[in-house]
Amino acid sequence: MAVRRRSSDALPEARPPSCIFEFVRTLDRFRETGAYLRGHFRLTSGLHSEEYLQCALVLQHPTIAEQFGKQLASKLGKADLVASPAIGGLIIGHEVARAIGARFIFTERDAAGKMTLRRGFTVKPGETAIVIEDVVTTGGSTREVIEVLQAAGVKVLGAGSIIDRSGGKADLGVPRVALETMNVVAYQPDECPLCKQGLPVEKPGSRPTS
């Protein structure tokens, strides 16, 4: 499958990247660490795909996580806080927060599956925030975090991710950036050619599909 990459537009007030981190090729890091997988996968969205990016495998290396965080921070303006959905966005969100000098919080799902702030995390009306995720496919989790913050009176300035699998099509309602934008074909389960070939499906992510 051909994968097309393109540059993402920077958010307003973006800062120039440090030359030390400017030339890191994101997908090369995934391949080097075995985090770029090929096969038959069921995504968190429920869609099927023959490509999967296992961010946990690449972010287990602190130097790479730091590089990715600084690269994303170079595309983002200042904010009071950075927020991420657990569990995938935790490491990269923390690295972005460190790079821009903001505090970091994360959301979790309650027993009913609703995204919420827990563990004593609080936000104040009028604060500004950036939402960071590891991979965006449909943007569902990121939108839920944005809605939690906005409901509390926080101004969400933008969003970022290491990978955008949507080809730039995911609409989050705020400006967003990614280190790598990919056009990856994903299928509804009943239309999946890999299923029709009888290939077993894997679910490598951290959250069960519905």
**pLDDT score for 205:** 64
The answer to whether residue 2 is domain-embedded is: no
Report the alpha-carbon angle 126-11-52, nearest 5.
105
**pLDDT score for 25:** 85
The answer to whether residue 93 is domain-embedded is: yes
Calpha distance 85→108 (Å, rounded):
6
CATH of the domain at 176: 3.40.50.2020
The answer to whether residue 41 is domain-embedded is: yes
**pLDDT score for 206:** 58
Beta carbons of 132 and 96 less than 8 angstroms apart: yes
Kindly report the pTM of this predicted structure: 0.80
Kindly report the length of the chain: 210
The answer to whether residue 10 is domain-embedded is: no
Which residues, including other chains, have CB under 8 Å from residue 11's CB and lie 6 or more apart?
Answer: 75, 76, 77, 157, 158, 175, 176, 177
**pLDDT score for 19:** 33
The count of structural domains within the chain is 1
**pLDDT score for 18:** 37
Q: What is the DSSP letter of 12?
A: T
Beta carbons of 96 and 105 less than 8 angstroms apart: no
The answer to whether residue 203 is domain-embedded is: no
**pLDDT score for 207:** 54
- The torsion angles phi and psi of 75, rounded to 5 degrees, stand at -95, -5
Calpha distance 41→192 (Å, rounded):
11
pLDDT tens digits for 41-67? Answer: 998 778 899 988 899 999 999 999 999
**pLDDT score for 68:** 96
Return the closest-CA partner of residue 96 out of 157, 144, 45, 153: 157
The answer to whether residue 161 is domain-embedded is: yes
The answer to whether residue 115 is domain-embedded is: yes
Task: Give me the helices (H) in the chain, please.
Answer: 26-32, 55-59, 62-74, 90-100, 140-151, 193-196
Stretches where the chain sits below pLDDT 50 are: 1-10, 12-23, 209-210
Long-range contacts of 60-65 (CB under 8 A, 24+ apart): 60/33, 61/33, 64/29, 64/33, 65/91, 65/92, 65/95
The answer to whether residue 210 is domain-embedded is: no
Q: Which domain holds residue 175?
A: 18-196
